Structure 1
């Protein structure tokens, strides 16, 4: 799947997230969903990196103490996972900031705390 487009990767991600949510339900910790989703995506043949450092550049200096992306898939799609009752604008801004800092175009905010996973998926483009 190394030559897959962002949209093809995105479809696999959404399908995997929905299936995972159906199987184990809402209410677990984010890191549980992260481990299981990463496992499912690897099973689908995708390259998955977890807890990827996102450095900050300031005043000509690169600082590695910036942020961490929960999951980056095939170096083309960024995932931020939540397990909250509902997401807010700040969560979407977080993903957009990560996209800008990584030069990745497509990101997903996946809220596994939603009653229905389809209501917990936000697709974001930078």
Structure 2
């Protein structure tokens, strides 16, 4: 878990850099592309828009669900650019964790004045 926390810290550093450079108010897709560039520049392996496999009662279901960023096959990053994060956004990340058997996910909202942990 220590290795995963170190990876998450590096990803958060990239997110803070992107937010500091671009600021709030852009579309999620702009932050997505900027995060991809930042992760690439610092050498963190990732897959963008990774499909999430979904099975129901033994059937594979074609899905439009995609992880915004799948970092090093072990960390999920879900990007948002919304006025307020809602419980459904957290539920989305928790569902992705369950479907992928990952242990850690980050939910990042870029449409804020300052990116920080909510109290």
Calculate the TM-score normalised by the size of structure 2: 0.92
Specify the alignment match of 2:85 in structure 1. 87
What residue number does 2:96 align with? 98
| 1:93-113 residue CA offsets vs partner (Å, 9 max, x unmatched) | 000000000111110000000
* Corresponding residue for residue 106 of structure 2: 108
Query: 1 or 2 for the larger relative contact order (CA 8 Å, sep ≥6)?
Result: 2
Q: Quote the residue 2:6 is aligned against.
A: 8
SS at match of 1:114: coil
3-state SS of paired residue (2:25): coil
Which has a greater percent of strand? Answer: 1
Deviations 1:48-90 (A, max 9, x none): 1011110211110111315111000000100100001110111
Contact 1:56 1:66 in 2 (8 A): no
**Contact 1:95-1:107 at 8 Å conserved across structures:** yes
Structural RMSD (CA): 1.4
Cα distance in 1 between the residues matched to 2:63 and 2:8: 28
How many residue pairs end up in the alignment?
A: 117
Unaligned runs of 5+ in 1: 121-126
- Per-residue CA deviations over 1:6-65 (Å, capped at 9, x if unaligned) read 111101111111111111100101011011101111211111101111021111011131
User: Does the C-alpha gap of structure 1 residues 66 and 56 become closer, same or farther in structure 2, counting only changes over 3 Å?
Assistant: farther
Q: CA deviation at 1:119?
A: 4.7
5+ residue gaps, structure 2? none
Whole-angstrom CA distance in 2 between matches of 1:49 and 1:85 = 27
